[in-house]
Structure 1
């Protein structure tokens, strides 16, 4: 997000184009009525409004110049009148460049307009256009030029009786052009600031949407890993046992095959639930369908027993310091479940045959809960199929989940070489969704 800037601390800059996102959101007819300064980069293609305004200003400058020349032509020679008309036409033609070179055109026409009547109209139009676009210092310089012209031009003609009137009229016209120009400039800056603000809000909204999508992708990735990695590791363990003992009794092979089938069915059910979340994002899920219940601390014993049935040696102890399991927040219970699940999954994948100890107990701090999964270093070589792949993404996702719950996660080998997964969680409602 861009840092706000104090407008009072920055000089007034030339008109800047509206941000593309805001300009694209304008109706087509609305955009056609905006000046090019508010639609495109400087020097860009003129809008329909610009063509109408430029033609009108050119004609107006010619009419003003012709009117003033007609009033003073009686004191001029034919050669001077021809020169006045020529320079006046050049000055009026230069108005087509007043958008790209506002200060230069205003200075050029203002100087010529002092001595040549036909150029006076072009000088007035160019001065007004410069007030819209140039810096305050440049506006001050051009205003001094216009005031000087108001006093000097009447002196070039032999009409002393009307000098005061002509000076007053010139000052009045200059004040009107300056005031009108500043008003239009302020209006354009307001429009530009509103469009910039709209563009900023659109950008912030897109950023929030992208962040929400990214957070949801990470949540789904964690969910798929936590659920499917556990199921598939169990499936691989049973299949490896069948492969390792093809001569086992028929009853044992039938029982192991039944466990493989049940585990595969459970994995498919879990996969369907996760895919259902993805389809719900695309509006394909049935309206009003409730989300399947998430596991909590109450399901930890069943999770441990499932690993025991697969042949793992797992000891589990749960001591909540006198608290009832149902009294813990569901978000905290889900986090505890996922920690234990990840620890058991990693033990099956990376330390087959090792004894695993699961401890869930209240810490010395009465407001903290400690979840520890310890995989004992195996001293017996275990024959197994090809090791399951692992990239550590499960621990990364688990660390994020624990952090969202307001806790801390540690993992790694201890002094004895056993792998320890330790999570310290607050005994309060978690801050995240806890899924």
Structure 2
């Protein structure tokens, strides 16, 4: 058996150590040597096996093709970033002028370009600020305005989102007392009016983003709530900045502010299509107060997020917006072309089918997005998911559907090759 240092001296592994780090490369070499001890490899095959076992990058995360039909898939990292956002993060990874004015050589406002882009994207916002996620945005508002005071919220908007996270528990953990009004399915303006007192900090309106209540229902809009003598905080959740023609029932930040909301909180990594971030938009004086709050430092975003968010706001159409704009006829044509390419695979039962996708990520609940998929045997789900370039679809009625709604057309050949390798 060769010694560890002899294997590590292989020029291919020396280069890999510079790229991936010596610890990771050494671990791969030790695994190859262990296979040699058991007789699985000959001594002369150890170095080649180690090179073959090297990961492509120094991270355990894998690049995945999202063929689930869910545009903003939480388990797959929500919004994929645009190429412009990725390039911006690469620039930001080095030394940058994130808090420096190159003109004066003095300290400047952090993330000024990002904040300017966000302000331009939401004209109705007097002030804007960015924190590390949507929950942090709502939490900062509550901490600054309602610690030791009351927040009035409709009973039907006391929602739980992902992983057991509950909005009421967040607010109460900060020291606010919730005053519930109305019933699960109906609330009126008079309910809010009756709950107000000198202890009321603000009225909170939460978009129930991952469920829909239908039937005998009633809710109070932002415009009506804005007539109350207290601030109105609107948590729209999904990060839609302006109305979207395919999502007419999804609230957006600009419309909420024009309707009279004092502050709007939202996420940056859902329908906006950017990195994980929390957006604070609204009254200029209040937003500045939130920015200067001592706890805001704990919620500060890093330079990578600032760069990616700015590029998302000012750059080309991000993948989420592109997916929402895809037409069902075009998707079906793509599915049929893929089926034609796979028709030469012996014994493979494959066809193009019409499907319905979803927005996902807690956005536009109940909205079906017309789509198309490549239908394959369900037994291919695992080998496709564990292949060199993982493809994640969904199994429905005993068939694996590779839905194309969230798949970049440039990845269609990759998808075809992945299927061929599994058959």
TM-score normalised per structure 2:
0.21
Greater Rg over alpha carbons, structure? 1
More helix by share: 1
TM-score with structure 1 length normalisation?
0.21
